[in-house]
Structure 1
Amino acid sequence: MPEATSVGTDWRLLGCAYVQFFVTCDKPNQRLLERHPFDLSTSMGRLAFTVTEEVYFPSVFGVGIDSSYRAVDSLRRLDPNFGAAWVHRARYRRQGLGLTVRHISRSRQVAADIARMLCSSWAHVHDDHRGSARVCDIVPVMLCDLRSALCHSSEESTDP
């Protein structure tokens, strides 16, 4: 994995690849990424934090990164679902910063959380609360959109 450890790599892209392999059950590639548990843990935390703030919160709860602190805090106290998601967001942030290195099983759980958040976001945007769409159909398409947005973002790349 010399490409991933080079300077200037956006580590969230590594997380996107892992979620893609996790959802499509591509075991050989998934195991290849699991060889570096610290890098995987950090990239999964960064991706989960990004998905939470930029995809899940705006589409499911109507709270964006430009929302006021009072609105977010009020929603956090009044809506137990948002409060639980906020706690997970903090956990993802610590993991993305490398403060809490997680085992591979935790990275797999975070990949499942990301897939769930992407599916919930898709269902809220498309008013499909019956669950007629399958995870293996929705998540790869949303990950492709997310990867293209990350590749074209104007922010500096992140190093672990």
Structure 2
Amino acid sequence: MSKRLPKFDIKRRLDDKVLVKLTPAEAKANSLLDDQSGGSYDQESPYVSLKYFNDSFECFSHWEKDELKDFSDFLQQLRDRTWKDVLSTSGKTSKRGLAYTPYDIAKVSDGIRRCFDEVRKRISDDITFFELRVNQNKLRVHGFRSKAAFFLVLLDREHRVWPM
């Protein structure tokens, strides 16, 4: 026979958890899966969030008109793919398309590392940062993934984070 918890213990345990009730439309808009999906977001289309964007490294105002058009095309490429598709563009020698490239932030310059460290302090030390190719020239974006979201942290129009 199981031991029953007093009502005040149950209430305290519920108070310790953050419970958010979303409508089905809100869950769909945020690409949040239902409990029966198995928890993988690899079949979801990525979307970009600027919540942790750091404009002290570079801002969109530094980009030329054609580069901004390339960024718009990049956003469309993300909408047209799943995370599984994005992850498959990674490779040591045969990168293609978005060229998903995870990296160790300990190997970037101090100024850039500080940008990433600020994000880690706000969220978690176990964030994996990566680069995505905006175009086939130098334009890159850097950030991290959480569920279906790509949190864009840095713009990199001159490929300065990881020089070519």
TM-score, normalization: structure 2? 0.28
For CA contacts below 8 A with separation 6 or more, give which structure has more relative contact order: 1
TM-score, normalization: structure 1? 0.28
More helix by share: 1
More strand by share: 2
Higher radius of gyration, 1 or 2: 2
